[in-house]
A and B are shown apart, each in its own frame.
Chain A
Amino acid sequence: MKDRACIVGIGETKYVRKPGSGMTGVQLHLQAATRALEDAGLTGRQIDGIIPSPYVATAEQLAANLGAATLRFATTVHMGGASPCAALPIAAAAVTQGIADYVLVPTGWNGFSTARARNVVATDVKSLPGATIARDYYLPFGLTAPPQWYALIARRHMHEYGTTAEQLGCVAVAMRKHAQLNDNAIMRGKPMTIEDYMMSPMITSPYRLFDCCVETDGAAAMVVTTAERARDLRKTPIYISGAAAAQPHPADEIFNRKDIYEAGMTIAAPRAFAMADATPADMDFAEIYDCFTFEVLQQLEETGFCKRGEGGAFVEGGRIELGGDLPVNTHGGLLSEAHTLGMNHIVEGVRQLRHEAGARQVKDAQIGLVTGWGDFGDGALAILRR
């Protein structure tokens, strides 16, 4: 499947917090989708596959609005924030096997003005994997929201490997710096120093406010087709060189994994790199799902950019900033651009490889990776090249 499918269209809505998008979740999806279609030079009628993320819009709703009259492939990946990235290997398989010709992958939500991500367990425990496990074994003890689950892993890592708050802060500061170069970033115009980071209020230790992503209203979308069809479309095709998704074991309960740091990424990354015939050292940039700062360190380790325990040292000294060895989240990430379940990471990866990233362009970017992280540590990774 290497390099046989391409991302040919990308689209985003405006990303906003107060006073909210003023649009429904379905309207947001449709705006991002129509922009992705226009970017590709396609019409809704040509879409015959749709992979919507969980929660907000169904393939049926989207197809009806877009005039996708010959829809023959529709599915949803239930991996929370990993869903968009995990849709890539599925979309690539679908188009290369002739199950569909043009697959639309939209995602989005009013994550600020209605369904606050922090409230997901309180309002809709069924949306979680192993929902009854969270209800019966986590909630009674006040373990109620994603930053709390992951803070527990982060503290253990700090104890075992000496990872520091300042190292977590390096991630937050890098994302914020990149957001200053992005007109659509929520945190544009709000620069942040490491001192600002250290002074930000504790939410759930060791996570401070600025370790946590920005809940956002917005949507993003992409269109995938075969490499052959891509050559006839409007924009430079971006090839899916390698893509894989996986779940940790067990995926429905976080704290009884034999290896507490093993995530879906641990399993997915070597498969994606093998498929692409590439290594972490080949990457010109990395767009890494950054729900919280520590998850960036953890994914740098589990994807093989550094050894287990070395993620903290890896992000020091500007290495992950533009101009560093491995620019990470050149758009600002979930921490400082927006939270659209990581579809914004895929969009940014495509922009970088098309050389459309303007002031934040990684010079002569040829190959890069995008990750997704969701639910209790599901993971996905895609290696993209121009």
Chain B
Amino acid sequence: MSYTKPLPTLAGHTEDFYGWCKKHELRFQQCTGCGAWRHVPRELCAECGSWDWEWMRSSGRGTVFTWTVAERPLHPAFADAAPYTPIVIAMEEGVRIVSEMVDCPHDQLVIDMPVEVVFDDVTPEITLPKFRRAG
């Protein structure tokens, strides 16, 4: 059965971000001028103005920042998915990323709970970074 949920459009920096995910590596831009990490990808560092950056590998570790349980789907592609739980993870590097958990029912979620990244190869082209409980 084909995958029917929305997928990112692979272009520009987004192609690079998800390209690393396909290799099962979570990477964010890090400014080579001041060291600031950033997500989502940008052209310049909003902290120091530098155009220079690298895709640096994240530890993959973070904590649960917040979540919502979508009981009533508000998009046709998720009509059969509810209830599902979009979540925001605060990564060790200081950036936050929207994702979902693969192993934790929503009634067991706790804010600040430690989590780590896993990779879900949803199509041959696209891998989404998701999260599971960490020790």
A residues contacting B by CB (< 8 A) are 118-119, 121-122, 132-133, 135-145, 147-148, 151-153, 155-156, 159, 201-207, 249-250, 253, 255-256
Q: Contact at B14–A132, with CB atoms within 8 Å? A: yes
Q: How many residues of B contact A (CB 8 A)?
A: 38
Determine the distance from Cα of A153 to Cα of B9 in the docked complex, in whole angstroms: 27
A residues in contact with B95, CB < 8 Å: 256
Q: Which of A137, A144, A249, A255 contacts B74 (CB 8 A)?
A: A144
B residues in contact with A139, CB < 8 Å: 6, 75
User: Closest 10 CB pairs between A and B?
Assistant: A144-B75, A145-B74, A136-B8, A139-B6, A151-B68, A156-B66, A143-B86, A205-B69, A255-B96, A202-B71
Determine the distance from Cα of A141 to Cα of B126 in the docked complex, in whole angstroms: 13
A residues in contact with B40, CB < 8 Å: 133, 136-137, 253, 256
Determine the distance from Cα of A156 to Cα of B63 in the docked complex, in whole angstroms: 13
Q: Contact at A201–B7, with CB atoms within 8 Å? A: no
A residues in contact with B86, CB < 8 Å: 138, 141-143, 148, 152
Instruction: Name the prevailing secondary structure of the A interface residues.
Output: helix
10 contacting pairs across A/B (C-beta < 8 A): A122-B74, A139-B75, A140-B126, A141-B100, A142-B5, A142-B70, A145-B75, A156-B66, A156-B111, A202-B71
Q: Which residue of B lies closest to A256 (CB)?
A: B96
Q: Contact at A203–B128, with CB atoms within 8 Å? A: no
Determine the distance from Cα of A254 to Cα of B98 in the docked complex, in whole angstroms: 10
Q: Contact at A142–B84, with CB atoms within 8 Å? A: yes
B residues in contact with A118, CB < 8 Å: 74
Q: Contact at A144–B88, with CB atoms within 8 Å? A: no
A residues in contact with B58, CB < 8 Å: none
B residues in contact with A205, CB < 8 Å: 68-69, 71
Q: Contact at B88–A142, with CB atoms within 8 Å? A: no
Q: Which of B63-94 contact A (CB under 8 A)?
A: 65-78, 81, 84, 86-88
B12-31 vs A, Cβ < 8 Å mask (1 yes, 0 no): 00100000000000000000
Query: Shortest beta-carbon distance, A16 to chain B, in Å?
Result: 22
Q: Contact at B67–A155, with CB atoms within 8 Å? A: yes
